[in-house]
Structure 1
Amino acid sequence: MTGHAPSSNFAEQVAYRVGLSLPASRKGYVASAIARLMVRRGIGDSRLFLDRLGLDAELTDDAVAAITVGETHFFRGPDQFQLIRQTILPELRRRQSDGSPVRIWSLGCATGEEPYSLAILCDEEGLLGDVRISAADISRRALAIAKAAEYGEWSLRNTDHKQRKRHFTSCDEGFRLHERLRRRVEFAHLNLGTDELPAPEKQLADFDLILCRNVLVHLDAIAVPRIARQLLACLADGGWLLTAPADPPLWKYAPFETSVTPAGVVYRRIIAHPHATRSSISCATSVHGQTKKPVAHVPPVRACVGDARKELGDQTFKAIARQIRSHFDMGETREAARLAAQATESHPLSAELHFLHALSQMANEETAAAAAALRRVVYLDSTLAAAQFFLGACLKDSDPQAALRSFENVRLICISRPPQERVSLMPETTAGHLAERAQREIGKIRQSPGSEGP
């Protein structure tokens, strides 16, 4: 490889060396970024570059930055922060009757927006003195930025004026987090792909809540089962784990209790003494200022039971879906919604059943409920273009920017597939046709008055 521009295969080798995975869609971009990095560092030999990874911390940081997507901001994923505020923290506070602090861990914290969002949330709930927040990331450069706690307007785009005034002061860079909040977060370097966990000697164990969002998607798929078991072992009894929609599911690899909520999939470590406490996953679907309405309790399911479709059996599963579709096709949308609701309560890990439930709710003009159901589908499988498309349709009036993101996701998913390939859950539609429909919706939103899109 000496003397030639780095190839996609070499980019994969670099990713593997630092414990990360490289999606096919980013191979060309990452290869170009590594080529520029090699020129900047004066390294002309690919083998020498690989050998220096891990030994040269700055070079490793640069390689990690080229491979990963560093996009983050305060209160990213508002549904999950609502779940933390309304359900998880109150329950954890009740359980900590001995006065011990609630221990929270932000994994893959990047430049610190996520753990500081947690500190702000705890402060607003009057719990800042009762929590201990730890944070870790693979990038030492990102950690240095996090420790400085200075951010620009873009990082604070999900905060309101009241939050900025209460928790930040103006500085040359834009905004500086108040010192009392900054001191509440402890940062450490960690490579989740290679480091051993739990690590009690480093106080990396017995967490009550772990956020590991948009991290696992960057790791080698071979490492995910091991990491799932490690994360489970890092939780205290009854502890919670939150991942992101793009992250791979973990219930296959470790015996979590798994629930599907409006905020997505939630994992818990089974409580050793179940009579000591009881919790409910009855949480609000409030997003972007919508009215808070409690949703039905979603019973936890043992992760080890495996995939929901296998649990049901293919024939039983198909029969349930066929029955729901039959009622829907005959215009009996209320009955379709009733059957779908029952089916999703019994089998909360089935993306198809949640999708059918959403379609029936849309037919009944229950747009907010349909959007919540479609978010569950996306959390279960973010590659389902059909769910992304209908989610955009539900949101385009109430939240055009969120709808724009959904339609852009549809387009990206579909253009990565053969144009004539049938779309999963929409077998009458091809990937090429759905990409065109999504592009038209994107155009409408961007041309609408008041649109903030590019």
Structure 2
Amino acid sequence: MTRHALPANLAGEVACRVGLSVPASRQGTVASAIARIMARRGIDDSSLLLRRLGLDQDLTDDVIAAVTVGETHFFRGPEQFQLIRQEILPELTRRPDGAPARIWSVGCATGEEPYSLAILCDEEGLLEEVRICAVDISRRALGTARAAEYGEWSLRNTDRRLKERYFTACDDRFRLSERLRPQVDFAVLNLGEADLPAPERGLADFRLILCRNVLVYLDASKVPRIARQLFACLADRGWLLTAPTDPPLWKYAPFETCITPAGVVYRRMMARGDARKSPISGVVSARGKPKNPVTRMAAAQACDTAAPKAPGDKLSRAIAQIRARYDVGETREAACLAAQAVESHPLSPELHFLQGLSQMADGEIDAAAAALRRVVYLDSTLAAAQFFLGVCLRQSDPEASLRALENVLQFCLSRPPQERISLMADATAGDLVERARREMGKIRQARGSESR
């Protein structure tokens, strides 16, 4: 059988057909995976592959797995789970009508995220007061989620006490407690194509939505519509959490947005007449004067770096002072100054960047990663922040590190090689491409060593 040459844009066409998108940096990897799928299934014509997508569900799931990274584990993003435990759940379950608070896990993959939420709710004694819905584009992944059996890798960041309490070991697998499994409802949903809200399917009136590491796989043109739909799916005072690598949503829907240690948090607030305080650590809400770095960013409000600054203003002086300390190696002092300046200018990406850079140099990698995540939330196009975030996460979360570095490649490959990189005066787009590729090579080399 003579095989047809595969089109150069096959990865993009296939991804589009299943409602997803492939960044330029992953086109080659995805195309190779699709070629292997075609060879395994005896498909020698790309047009035949495209016609069968959607009709052959097993083939479609193979393609979805090729396009998406599919990396997940229990309690992924511990800072966000800490925020849910400490700040969101106590408010979430205060329902005057006694109805369960509804939680939605979008892009739940094989179920680790919604089951983590169920465990968290049970730990807080709230399991009977919530109902968790979980959706994903892959039927195969949902089948694994419903089975609720996991390997050691999925539990690698799970506290030993929780592992012993909620899982039963069987050979090399761990089965989730039968008591928790019925608390999660699973359903197929393609977020990129869905018409939301959909009350008839139970997809509305959520008090908390987690939509993490999903929007990065969707075409950028769909993000504004999805932002509005997610807003509409929230109940009053409902919360939306996304991931650091996801595009910002505040400009597309009337969210009220807080910058927290766990990153940016979106909310659908009540009418302006409601002058109640935000539940986040007693911070005055959007209608009051912010009293610390956890503060609202209205959709219409530009961040601190958007407007030109007079050379002598406080922000410019603070940045110059921090950079001067950093340049002479006084990184701890620079980090302290940046933290103080962030109190007054919480929406300045450059301040958060300098804080993260100083903390990196001082060996405080986790704190640096948190600061750099805030930069990415404020402006996901800042390739410098994406690069250093990728470096910070290389050991602790290789998949998230690769995604951040892929974002660097996607941005820099779209720019002239000699173009200077914002926040990195000594680097060009071409320089950063090479540096990002070296970091990605280190991660892949480490993975290869672990697998041997």
Scaled by the length of structure 2, the TM-score of the pair is 0.82
- Rounded Cα–Cα distance in structure 2 between residues aligned with 1:400 and 1:49: 36
**Aligned residues: percent identity?**
63
Distance 1:50 1:404, change over 3 A: closer
Verify: 1:166 aligned to 2:160, yes or no: no
Kindly report which structure 2 residues correspond to 1:94-105, keeping only aligned pairs within 5 A, or say none: 95-105=94-104
- Rounded Cα–Cα distance in structure 2 between residues aligned with 1:373 and 1:422: 23
Aligned Cα root-mean-square deviation (Å): 3.8
Verify: 1:302 aligned to 2:298, yes or no: yes
Corresponding residue for residue 60 of structure 1: 60
Corresponding residue for residue 83 of structure 1: 83
- Rounded Cα–Cα distance in structure 1 between residues aligned with 2:110 and 2:440: 34
Verify: 1:327 aligned to 2:326, yes or no: no
Letter in 1 for 2:319: R
Corresponding residue for residue 278 of structure 1: 277
Distance 1:178 1:262, change over 3 A: same
In the TM superposition, residue 362 of structure 1 has moved relative to its aligned partner by: 7.4
Corresponding residue for residue 48 of structure 1: 48
Corresponding residue for residue 142 of structure 2: 143
Verify: 1:402 aligned to 2:400, yes or no: no
Check whether the contact 1:43–1:49 (CA below 8 A) recurs between aligned residues: yes
Question: 5+ unaligned residues in a row in structure 2: which ranges?
Answer: 283-290
Letter in 2 for 1:124: E
Distance 1:22 1:127, change over 3 A: same
Check whether the contact 1:237–1:269 (CA below 8 A) recurs between aligned residues: yes
- Rounded Cα–Cα distance in structure 2 between residues aligned with 1:297 and 1:84: 18
Check whether the contact 1:309–1:350 (CA below 8 A) recurs between aligned residues: yes
Check whether the contact 2:293–2:344 (CA below 8 A) recurs between aligned residues: no
In the TM superposition, residue 350 of structure 1 has moved relative to its aligned partner by: 3.0
Q: After alignment, is 410-419 or 231-240 more displaced?
A: 410-419
- Rounded Cα–Cα distance in structure 2 between residues aligned with 1:82 and 1:254: 26
Distance 1:360 1:22, change over 3 A: closer
Distance 1:254 1:201, change over 3 A: same
Kindly report which structure 2 residues correspond to 1:172-211, keeping only aligned pairs within 5 A, or say none: 172=171, 174-211=173-210
In the TM superposition, residue 353 of structure 1 has moved relative to its aligned partner by: 2.4
Corresponding residue for residue 288 of structure 1: none
| Alignment counterpart, residue 309 of structure 2, candidates 315, 325, 333 | 315
Distance 1:371 1:152, change over 3 A: closer
- Rounded Cα–Cα distance in structure 2 between residues aligned with 1:161 and 1:338: 35
In the TM superposition, residue 324 of structure 1 has moved relative to its aligned partner by: 1.9
Check whether the contact 1:149–1:177 (CA below 8 A) recurs between aligned residues: yes
| Alignment counterpart, residue 353 of structure 1, candidates 333, 351, 355 | 351
- Rounded Cα–Cα distance in structure 2 between residues aligned with 1:160 and 1:361: 27
Corresponding residue for residue 34 of structure 2: 34
Check whether the contact 1:282–1:296 (CA below 8 A) recurs between aligned residues: no
Cα deviation 1:391-425 (Å, max 9, x = unaligned): 688x7xxx993398898778767777577664431
Scaled by the length of structure 1, the TM-score of the pair is 0.82
Distance 1:330 1:191, change over 3 A: closer
In the TM superposition, residue 331 of structure 1 has moved relative to its aligned partner by: 4.4
Question: 5+ unaligned residues in a row in structure 1: which ranges?
Answer: 284-294
Cα deviation 1:82-101 (Å, max 9, x = unaligned): 111111111222x3233221
Letter in 1 for 2:372: L
- Rounded Cα–Cα distance in structure 2 between residues aligned with 1:236 and 1:119: 20
- Rounded Cα–Cα distance in structure 2 between residues aligned with 1:181 and 1:362: 40
Cα deviation 1:350-401 (Å, max 9, x = unaligned): 32121234456779998876554333224445665644676688x7xxx993
